[in-house]
Amino acid sequence: MNQLFRRTINQDFLNLHCRTISYMNLRFQHVLFCLTFFIPFSSWAQIQLDSSIAGQTGNNIIVTSVPFLNIAPDSRSGALGDAGVALPDADANATYWNAARLAFAEKKISASLSYTPWLHQLVKDMWLSYLTGYYQLNDKQTVAVSMYYFNLGEIDFRDESGNSLGVKNPREYALSAYFAQQLSKSFSLGVGLRFINSNLTQGVALPNTGVQTQPGRTVAADISAFWKKDKVIWFGRQFTPALGINLSNIGGTLKYTDDSDGEYIPANLRIGGSLGTEIDQYNRVTFLLDFNKLMVPTTGTDSEKSPLGGVVSSFTDAPGGFSEEMQEITISTGLEYWYADLFAARAGYFYESKNKGNRQFISLGAGIRYNAFGVDFAYLIPTARNHPLQDTVRFSLLFDFGKEEDKKPSGGSSGGGSSPVIN
């Protein structure tokens, strides 16, 4: 490639789960915008890696375009170790985790705005925001919309000789619409449609070749299901079990030039469960466990297969066989405590194999609900020292409108359940 996009960082880590822009007719060299997973590297290193590096390490780390779509956007699940597909209640942020949950929403209308300064240990101007809301059509159907926005901050674009091509501000966003249908008192389905826009190059032309870059655009779909059962008696105590599954970002590929190969988007499978119980009339706890797998080919960053073919082959294509496929599954677990639907305390843990990115962190958080207003906060603590995700914080605001539907509490709370309030 005749153009290199460099960003100098005075840190000992560079992200390896990277934004990859590949161009045909340019010898398949890649520029990697590092976003999510990290490896040790020299100080003041430049983000310029060839895709062969991943293979040389022996760690077949999965690389996709727009990986921000797999970053937890909200503070509630962010404090639960990125678990949320089977949370037994539905606030507005259920659009991201499992839209089918919205069919059991307790409020008529809900909206949420979340903000996350991203990798602020490395850069100060990179951030994500998530705006979402739903509206209940009736007691069985709900519609929702969301916008996920990622600002990568200012980047000094340079050619391979080090000459500046100007300072640009790459941005990405995804606009989504959802529909949830309750099929029984315990089961619901959800679908979503998403438009994705990734403007990484801001129209910069490749020097010497004159190849014009462009924003990558595509569409994708989500399919989700949710099951929960209220008032199950086990061992003399009442529980609320729930199960959820979400297949997200099933769709096309992104192209950054007319002649380039398409890049896979992060098609994803998330499955999990939760178990909630009321300790007494004021105190309630919910335990969550999620398993997550990218449905993207393990080897190769170019779209050698169709998007659907890549999804199917992603379960059997790891060079290390079944054991390596299992390493591609991340585990999220969390515990949420509510007092009288007014105050929440949360803790969680996220695990990823050291051969697939090595993200491992503890998360903590809290939430407050008062009438139609709620605030959530999350704080991330990596298990490794000097990690770029260290001190990551998330903030979320929640607004509920309209009267509460005549439904029973479901083992968790988005801030409007029927638990008694202390006077």
Chain centroid, CA 108 distance in Å:
26
What pLDDT tens digit does each residue of the chain (423 aa) get? Answer: 333 333 322 222 233 233 333 222 222 223 333 333 222 222 222 222 333 333 334 467 888 899 999 999 999 999 999 999 999 999 999 999 999 999 999 899 999 999 999 998 888 899 999 999 999 999 999 999 999 999 999 888 877 778 887 888 999 999 999 999 999 999 999 999 999 999 988 878 776 677 788 899 999 999 999 999 988 988 888 999 999 999 999 998 998 888 777 889 999 999 999 999 999 999 999 999 999 999 998 864 344 677 788 888 888 888 888 999 999 999 999 999 999 999 999 999 999 999 898 999 999 999 999 989 999 999 999 998 888 888 999 999 999 987 654 444 444 455 444 333 333
Domain contains 31? no
- The SS3 assignment for 325 reads helix
Q: Considering the domain boundaries, does residue 5 fall inside one?
A: no
Question: CA-CA distance, 183 to 225, in Å (whole number)?
Answer: 10
- Nearest by Cα to 375 from 419, 342, 420: 342
- Using an 8 Å Cβ cutoff, are 98 and 244 in contact? yes
313 burial (CB, 10 Å; 0-12 / 13-18 / 19+) is middle
Torsion angles phi and psi, residue 366, rounded to 5: -150, 160
d(CA 264, CA 197): 14
Per residue in 194-221, pLDDT tens? 999 999 888 787 766 777 888 999 999 9
| b/e map 314-344, b = 16+ CB within 10 Å | beebbeeeeebbebbbbbbbbbbebebbbeb
User: 263: domain CATH number?
Assistant: 2.40.160.40
Bridge partners for 84 per DSSP: none
Torsion, CA 33, CA 38, CA 42, CA 47, rounded to 10: 0
Q: What residues contact 264, with CB distance under 8 A and at least 6 apart?
A: 64, 65, 253, 296, 297, 301, 303, 307, 310
Structural domain contains residue 32: no
Q: Is residue 8, in this structure, part of any structural domain at all?
A: no
Structure confidence at residue 158 (pLDDT): 78
Query: Does pTM top 0.85 for this prediction?
Result: no
Please enumerate in sequence order all residues whose Cβ is within 8 A of that of 194, keeping only pairs 6 or more positions apart, or say none: 174, 175, 176, 219, 220, 221, 222, 249, 251
Domain count, the chain: 1
pLDDT at 34: 36
Residue 42 covered by a domain: no
Instruction: Give the domain range for residue 93.
Output: 67-404
Q: How does pLDDT run across 124-140, given as a tens digit for each residue?
A: 899 999 999 999 999 99
